[in-house]
Chains A and B, each alone.
Chain A
Amino acid sequence: MTFIIGIYTYGMPPQIENETQVKNVMNQALRYARQRVEYADLLYEKIVRIEIQQLPDRLLQKPFNIKARVQLRLLEQGKKVEIKVGTLNPDSLKDAIDTGVRLLKLSPTPPQPVRLAPIPNPEKIRYGTAAPRLLPAGAIFTSLLKDINKIARVLERKNPGMEIKPEFWFFSQREEKAIADSTGVFKTQVMPRTFLQLVTRVKGLGGKMTQTRARLGNPLPYSFIVRKIKNTYHLTPEAARHIRSWMEKTVELQKAITLNAEEIKSLTHFVLHFTTLGVFVHEALGHNFEADIVKAGSSGIIDQEGYPRGIVAAENVNILDGPLPGKPRDGFGTEFIDDEGVEVKTKLLAENGVIKGMIHNRETAAYFNAEPNGGAFSELGDQRIPRMSNTFVQPATRKNWFRTLDKLISDIPKGLILEGTSGGAVSKDGMSSSVLIGYLIENGRITRTVQPANFSAQTLHALRYVEGFAGPVRIDDVGFCGKGQTKYVGDGGPVWTRIRNNEFVNLSIQG
């Protein structure tokens, strides 16, 4: 099958498909709404995706998956109604507006009238990067199946008696969105996004089973995972290395030890790989910076009026959300504008451990008298709420920031390296994140592999005991954040972060 790359010139973001038609339908609906309410806006989102899922016992290929939805918001006399609409169709929109007006009339007046901060830079229309319109699905699927299973078979030969069962899920998509409002704003964005998840299960001698999960994801076309070399498609060397490494770790877990409560208590330090730190920061702190959670009084670090409840990290820690400065295309959660049309900024959430900002949508920005910073996102037509994009730790100074892991752990008498995650969750005062594999440090050297674990902490204290770092900042840990709706996110920090064991973190190891 042939494919065409969308026409793209540097500095000229691509157009969404049928831009004029989309704009006309949206404007027509907004004109109708404007006669009935004070303010209305619309978000149209569309995804064209190819997808393959290799499950334990079956293969599912979806070479053609298109979905689109619309979100309508109406404001009148400080009241707000949000409606998800099935299709971008003039009749459906008109019907939704009529229903919305009826709902507005019977909606209770909120304690504080809903206001929206204005959309900055309203004249600029197009954002985004080139995204293929059609993809060589067959060739990509074949190469993934062949290359991933080949890596597993090679490892099985190296490890007699082990059965290595890889499961994977890959998608590559073109995302389009358009935002329009009753003041005449019209903005669009086109983005590619590609994702690979590998779940490796190993059945060892005696039937012992181990499992890991590894991911790759970026706002890039498929070619960062599968590339055409001569006439056939293959995994890129980076993707193949990542897959091989996690399959090897799953085999390694067959011989992993567990630690009891006393042994865990005796640990002096934890050293977190960025893949563990990322989800830890996302869950422990990130959600607590989301301004809707603050407004509801559910943030463990900022009170309902927007004042910090205390210091959230050690002095050497900055916490940011957004694209990585200097690398605007990195991070699975990266977008150029949010789903309200606000340009996405890198937000400084904490500096030297002190809270500096929040993640806003237009509504919370107006509520807290702040500038909107591009944090409003929706899952395909759902309401737009403050969400993280890529949340990461940045060392505040060069002090205790080493080049290598060896340097960072050289003076640790008894510690534990924690790597990988299968996700986490947060509550107001506490959080929980999983760890896929651990390595025991004894007298500055790695000695044993340790079973998967769960790392939890009290929110306000989670990062107060950070002592140092090693390696560059990476935000390519990939996640799907659930907050009633799903959002692509990235997270991370320096490759390694060292934390002193303390009474506010808990580790429990499986086994």
Chain B
Amino acid sequence: MNLEQLDNIVKRVARRTGLDDYELFLTFGTSLNCRIENWEITVQLKKDIFSGSLRVIKNRRMGFVPFTEPSPGVLELGIKIALNMAPAAPFDSFAVIPDRLKTPPAFDPEIVRLLDNPSRIKTLAQELIKRAFDTGKITTLEGMIQVNREIKLISTFNSPVPAIAERTAFSAFAEVNTQDFDFVAGRKLPDLEKVAALGASVARALPGTETTPEAEGIKGKIVPVVLHPSFTEEMIRQLVAEHVYASTVQDGMSQYHLNELVMSPLITAGDDATIPFGESTFPVDDEGTPARKNLVVENGVLKMFLYDRTTASRENVQSTGNGRRRPVLIEEEHEAPVRCTINDIFIIPGTTPLTEIIKKIDYGVLIKVLLGFHTANRTTGDFANTLYFGRIIRNGELAELPQAGRWAIKGNALNALRNVKTISRETLSTGSAILPWLQTELTVA
């Protein structure tokens, strides 16, 4: 499908329907997924999936039209109905996308070659399974290898050219005995040797023993915890980012204030949509604002809030490139409202090796996944959730597994970042964040 041709069709429809302006969001892609369930591999393909979304302005009112069929007739009808009951537009016109934008790399032809040759993916999945079971430590193995190729286009009525880029993605994970997992994710083909070894390396590192908080006499006590980068990303996206969005500030619900110490002075962090091969990497955000890097927190002090065009227009400032289609709950991306959304997250690493951080903890917990973290309180940052994947830290070493269903961790995400005591030298790329391990304190509930 030629998305630029479709952009021209939308332009014609816009002229015919007398629109003052429009903003078009299109994606078209194919993905191949090899699902691993013990020794079984199931191939699933999503082929030529098209999604589109149109925001239109006419007479200072803004309508919203999501669609999955690129038909001029459907679009025209959609525009007509949307404008019939459109609320007041927050601004007079959409962004004009500059025609000479820098396009950071997000496309790896190696991934396309892999997508075009599914037998290589199958062989990789078979190798992952074989190596995992060869360890002799597997009861159950679940995993997935997925490759993806997508074209994305953002355009507005008055832009000389649309922002368009082809992007690739590769992800794989292996979960062993429902006790631990490992993964790789990114827009560049990773070292396939690492992918093949995912299950085996998790299996080999699994301790043979489990423990309960009752046996440890630790219930209700505050303990040192080390946050795995996957968990830190989830905590920031779900709970902390809300407080740096200009929308929350304008609503009077943010607990953060500019130029105040909001995190540990050790933390310097921000978001970036220009990282080569990053998840968010694209020339513009979903509103046509050029992609950029934002330093949000410097030495623990809040330096800026994140704006989309709507919140920016209220304060007569510029968008920070954070207008993204972020679902409220279950909407597909093209149906989701454009609103303040954090791009790829980074925290500047510290100087202490992770092993040193762990070595200095007599008794603590490494947190990788808290079960049901999506249910945490976004308004306050409070959470109390079952520890799903993690490790007990004992006498400076990673020790037992937490017994399933017996451990819960509670705390407040904003306070957890305020109380960070050490930041690891190492970082991990989760695909959508580059983060170190953080040492802080939380309560075993």
Contacts and interface: CB of A to CB of B under 8 A. Distances in A.
Given A58-B90, A452-B382, A458 B404 contact: yes
From B45, B65, B122, B386, residue with most partner A Cβ within 10 Å: B386
A143 interface: no
Nearest to A112: B40
Contact of A81 (B45, B140, B330, B445): B45
A68 B330 contact: no
A477 to B, nearest CB: 14
Contact of A165 (B64, B85, B86, B253): B253
B118 A106 contact: yes
A298 B44 contact: no
A300 to B, nearest CB: 8
Given A64-B81, A452-B377, A55 B339 contact: yes
Interface residues of A, number: 91
Given A430-B405, A434-B375, A86 B87 contact: no
Interface in A373-427: 381, 383, 421-427
A456 B45 contact: no
B122 A106 contact: yes
A201 interface: yes
A65 B382 contact: no
A422 B372 CA distance: 9
Contact of A211 (B47, B378, B403): B378
Contacts of A428: 140, 178, 404
Given A211-B377, A260-B220, A431-B371, A99 B47 contact: yes
Q: Which of A65, A96, A106 is most buried by chain B, counting CB atoms within 10 A of its CB?
A: A65
Contacts of A87: 50, 68-69
Interface string A140-174: 01000000000000000000000101000100000
A165 B373 CA distance: 23
A103 B311 CA distance: 48
A430 B406 contact: yes
Given A96-B47, A210-B379, A432-B371, A508 B445 contact: yes
B359 interface: no
Interface stretch (B185-193, B244-252, B342-350): B244-252
Interface residues of B, number: 81
A508 B213 CA distance: 13
Interface in B114-137: 118-119, 122, 126
B332 A67 contact: yes
Nearest to A142: B85
A281 to B, nearest CB: 15
Interface string A54-71: 011111111111111100
A211 B379 contact: yes
Interface in A443-479: 452-454, 456-459
Interface in B158-217: 178, 214
User: Is the contact region of chain B dominated by helix, strand, or loop, or is it mixed?
Assistant: mixed
A454 B337 contact: no
A201 B445 contact: no
Nearest to B445: A508
B44 A458 contact: no
B206 to A, nearest CB: 14
A506 B122 contact: no
A51 B376 CA distance: 26
A511 B118 CA distance: 51
Contacts of A111: 39-40
B384 A508 contact: yes
Given A67-B332, A83-B44, A429 B178 contact: yes
Contact of A84 (B42, B45, B67): B45
Q: Of A261, A504, A511, which is in contact with the most chain B CB atoms at under 10 Å from its CB?
A: A261
B317 interface: no
Contacts of A61: 63-64, 82, 85-87
Contact of B374 (A80, A81, A110, A423): A423
A64 B372 CA distance: 33
B4 to A, nearest CB: 18
Contact of A261 (B45, B77, B374, B445): B445
Contact of B379 (A67, A85, A201): A201
Nearest to B370: A432
19 contacts: A57-B247, A57-B310, A58-B337, A62-B82, A64-B65, A65-B65, A66-B68, A68-B68, A82-B42, A86-B47, A99-B47, A106-B119, A296-B140, A425-B388, A429-B403, A430-B405, A454-B383, A457-B405, A459-B405
Interface of B: 37-50, 63-69, 74, 77-78, 81-82, 84-87, 90, 118-119, 122, 126, 139-140, 142, 178, 214, 219-220, 247-248, 250-253, 310-311, 328-330, 332, 335, 337, 339, 370-380, 382-386, 388, 403-406, 408, 410, 445
10 closest A-B pairs by beta carbon, nearest first, are: A430-B405, A261-B220, A508-B445, A429-B404, A425-B372, A434-B375, A432-B386, A458-B405, A508-B384, A430-B404
Interface of A: 1, 51, 53, 55-69, 80-87, 92, 95-96, 99-100, 102-103, 106-108, 110-111, 137-138, 141, 163, 165, 169, 197, 201, 203, 209-211, 260-262, 265, 283, 295-298, 381, 383, 421-434, 452-454, 456-459, 480, 486, 503-504, 506, 508-511
